[in-house]
Amino acid sequence: MKKVSRSLIPFTAVFFILLLMYIPQKVPKTYGSDETLNVYQKFQDGQPIDYLVIGDSIGRGSGAENPNMTWFRQLENKMNKYNSVPFKGDYVVQSGSTAFEGLYKFSQKKDSGHKDLIFIVFGENDRKYMNVNDFKMTYEALIRKAKHLYPHAELFTITESCLEYEEFANAIGLLTDYYGATNIDMRPIFKNSGFTEKQLTKDLIHPNGLGYQFYANAIYEQFLENAKQEKPVASLPPKIHEGSELELLEHDNYDTMVGFRPRAGYYTSSEKGSYIEYRFEGNILGVKLLRSPDGGKVDIFIDGKLNTSIHTWWPFARERYLFVTNGLSPGPHTVRFEVSGRETANDIPNTYVRLSSIITNNMHP
């Protein structure tokens, strides 16, 4: 019996070691993929962060010498290098776009999963197409849409370094504060950088790689401060502007067409006086069209009165969703798009207007 007992000792020791390995151990709490936890909690725990950029040419990093020099790639590198936090992006961006176009494209985007952090980058183009009140309403609608779709996401608004219109910058700041978001105002940062505007940009508008380094640094430093202070993410209080709960819809059934012809998915004409009319209800109006190197000019009449004119020229072909007007009465209304002439550009003999549909927040049956 003694011999048997001694032979069992090694086996018994191994058994107890294996048993201890399977006994549940007390482990530190991790956040994992819990979507109810905010971006700062995930950051502190080293969890992957998914971000979304909704913006214009600066939002997409235009002007950088190569893709790795865009502001978001430099930000990703900082998160990985200094914090070992995977930082992965998704993008709803378009050169020359406004908050209106961003709102429409964002509304049409297929859900690509949970987002922890959303960057909104508009302002410089908006001031060319709309007044500040239209901008406030559309920008707020974009913020609210983002928070409806991603209620646990933090919002960072970017005041672009090139934005000289103070009333637009103030509008961004006001809405940022109201929704508890974080604003990064790049104008004083560029001004106090020690570099000239020419040194920081490609064309005095779009930052170059060095300029985007200042963007990435400013965002990163503010993000670290927010995490340190355990900042709550942006909230969704009652709206400020009455029309800011926008559900933009596309309407492609025209009412009258003279001189335009269907061609390659657009109603197309180059002849002065050609027009196409749509009837609609709603208080906001946009248009879906093709901008291209041979794009012409179109006059837009609402209820018989000239509202605005749009040049559809662009250095390359690109479908766009352009803001026309806001603040209309409930309707009904009629909008006419009329070719205003055969202006030439860059030695192109003919210019064309190519329209697809209108965009509004209510449709005529």
Beta strands at 275-291 and 318-326: parallel, antiparallel or unpaired: antiparallel
pLDDT for the residue 362? 65
Residue 15 predicted with pLDDT over 70: no
Same domain, 187 and 308: no
State the Cα torsion 104-110-113-116 to the nearest 10°. Answer: -10
Residue among 118, 330, 363, 331 nearest 243 (CA): 330
Distances (CA, A) of 220 to 43, 72, 87, 308: 12, 10, 12, 41
Residues 71 and 201 grouped into a single domain:
yes
Q: pLDDT by residue (tens digit) across 314-324?
A: 999 999 999 99
> Domain check: are 57 and 97 in the same one?
yes
Could you tell me the CATH number of the domain that includes residue 190? 3.40.50.1110
Instruction: Report the C-alpha gap between 285 and 139 in whole angstroms.
Output: 15
Question: Across-strand partners of 336?
Answer: 277, 301
Within-domain flag for 235 = no
Residue 64 to residue 71: CA distance in whole angstroms: 8
Mapping DSSP to helix (H, G, I), strand (E, B) and coil, where does residue 219 land? helix
Q: Secondary structure of 158-184 in the HEC alphabet?
A: EECCCCCCHHHHHHHHHHHHHCCCEEE
- Structural domains in the chain (count): 2
Residue 9, amino acid: I
Listed residues 228, 261, 292: the one ending a domain: 228
Q: Are residues 80 and 49 in the same domain?
A: yes
Q: pLDDT at residue 144 above 50?
A: yes
Residue 100 in tokens: 């209106």
Domain-located, residue 300: yes
Cα torsion angle, 68, 37, 142, 216, sign: negative
Q: Which pLDDT score, from 0 to 100, does residue 119 have?
A: 98
4 φ, ψ (degrees, to nearest 5)? -65, -45
CATH of residue 291: 2.60.120.260
pLDDT interval class at 151 (50, 70, 90): very high
Residue 33: how many CB atoms within 10 A of its CB? 10
Cis peptide before 332 (omega within 30 of 0): yes
Question: Do residues 227 and 154 lie in contact, with contact meaning Cβ atoms separated by under 8 Å?
Answer: no
Question: pLDDT tens for residues 176-225?
Answer: 999 999 999 999 999 999 999 999 999 999 999 999 999 999 999 999 99
Q: What is the largest CA-CA distance in the chain?
A: 112
- Per-residue pLDDT tens for 45-81? 999 999 999 999 999 999 999 999 999 999 999 999 9
Work out whether strand 261-263 and strand 182-185 pair parallel, antiparallel, or are unpaired.
Answer: unpaired
What is the span of the domain harbouring residue 197? 39-228
Q: What is the pTM assigned to this prediction?
A: 0.86
Q: What is the mean pLDDT of residues 343-362?
A: 80
Q: Is residue 10 part of a domain?
A: no
Tokens of 70: 């865009």
Whether 84 has a pLDDT exceeding 60, the answer reads yes
Beta strands in the chain (DSSP E): 49-55, 87-93, 117-121, 154-159, 182-185, 249-251, 256-258, 261-263, 266-269, 275-291, 297-302, 305-311, 318-326, 333-339, 353-362
pLDDT at 32: 44
pLDDT band, very low/low/confident/very high, at 3 (cuts 50, 70, 90): very low
170: in domain: yes
Predicted pLDDT at 35: 66
